[in-house]
Amino acid sequence: MTVAVLSIGSNIGDRRAHLESVVDALGERLIARSRIYETPPWGGVEQEPFLNAILLAEDSDWLPDDWLALAQRCEGAADRVRDIRWGPRTLDVDIVTCHDADGEIRSGDPRLTLPHPRAHERAFVLVPWAQARPGASLGGIPVTELLDRLPAAEVQAVRPLDPPRGW
């Protein structure tokens, strides 16, 4: 069995619907989810704000490659285009980390590096994750401690939206 932490984001089109499409695709695999947060874009590309959330999912038969395949299917269904690195997107689904019975899975595979190599730098990942799973850790470091290492202004810029019905 693996448990996956997925970071989802959208800043093109019906942002909320794009996020909800991942929830729908996970179905009964979904075990927890954060609130939805509006966040400034990351990476220096001029663009609209994002909606972001964290989803936790588990499946007794899935391996990290199965989570990657699901992420790519969801992005494809949302007509994700990869023209500009860190640019605007209909849907971004990143696998932040996966755990199995032995603990956090590590992978240096360029298709799927685990844990995500920049998750510890991103308030838009850490803030919703801390809310969805208090006590979570990344690489053995509590997510709350990773948040404390980020600039306060960056953390404060991750603003929770009122949760919609069903979210």
Domains defined along the chain, listed by start: 2-160 (3.30.70.560)
Q: Which pLDDT does position 84 carry in this prediction?
A: 62
CA distance linking residue 125 with residue 43, whole number of Å: 14
Q: Which pLDDT does position 24 carry in this prediction?
A: 97
Average pLDDT of the residues of the chain: 91
Asked whether the predicted pLDDT for residue 142 surpasses 90, the reply is yes
* Least confident interval from 47-51, 85-89, 132-136, 148-152: 85-89
Asked whether the predicted pLDDT for residue 43 surpasses 80, the reply is no
Q: What is the pLDDT of residues 49-76, one digit of tens each?
A: 999 999 999 999 999 999 999 999 999 8
Label residue 41 by pLDDT band (50, 70, 90).
confident
Helix axes 15-26, 64-77, angle to 10 degrees: 140
% of the chain at pLDDT higher than 70: 90
Q: Alpha carbon of 78 to those of 30, 36, 112, 133, 145: distances in Å?
A: 19, 18, 20, 27, 34
Q: Which pLDDT does position 61 carry in this prediction?
A: 95
Asked whether the predicted pLDDT for residue 37 surpasses 90, the reply is yes
User: Residues in the chain, how many?
Assistant: 167
